[in-house]
Amino acid sequence: MKSRTIYRIALGAMFVVTIFIAIGIVLTFNLAREMDEPVSFWDVSFPLIGLIVTPFVGMVYYIKKKPLGWIFCCGYAIFLLVLLSLYYFDLSQMEGASMEGMGGMTASFIVMSAVLVSLIVLLLTDKMRALFFRGGQDKLLDTFAMAFVVAITIGLIVFTPRLVALSHHMVWIFVIVFAALRSVVNKYK
């Protein structure tokens, strides 16, 4: 497959996944509002930044063929795959979850996982990395490590309201992860 075709498929998949997640977030918050659950700006802003703003910024850089676009898109796909897996595992472990009720969840989990894994594999191919990184900078382990740092950062952004409520030690974890992210961003601006 040509690198231009892989580039377009990955961009289309990123766009579709981002729109799907955005619709899911809007529906979740509308459901919470209808059930009269309190939803504050603090609880809403960080998931919106992490799950909607971040991938659109990544896609802008991706279209410009900047390394930061590849890193953001791959990190976002890794984060979503991990989040989806944890969510499905958590739902399957709940007491009272019947296999019949999980049938629809299992099918959607398989489809979304296949899309995300395919997107990650496409982004990690040699041809794709060569489009974004200059010679010698596109080593698989280095690029995957940078995408993994972005995935962790997105996770910290999305779950900031819950993490802050848990512990004050989270500040040190934020500082360390954001310092790693800053070095990645500065290296590939």
Q: What is the mean pLDDT of the chain?
A: 80
Helix/strand/coil for 167: coil
Contact 188, 68 (CB under 8 A): yes
- In this prediction the pTM is 0.81
Query: Range with the lowest mean pLDDT among 9-13, 83-87, 177-181, 185-189?
Result: 185-189
pLDDT score at 188: 64
Give the span between the Cα atoms of 49 and 47, in whole angstroms. Answer: 5
Amino acid at 109: F
Amino acid at 48: L
pLDDT score at 169: 66
DSSP line for 68-97:
HHHHHHHHHHHHHHHHHHHHHHHHHHSTT-
pLDDT tens per residue, range 49-106: 888 888 999 999 999 988 889 989 999 999 999 988 888 887 777 655 555 555 566 7
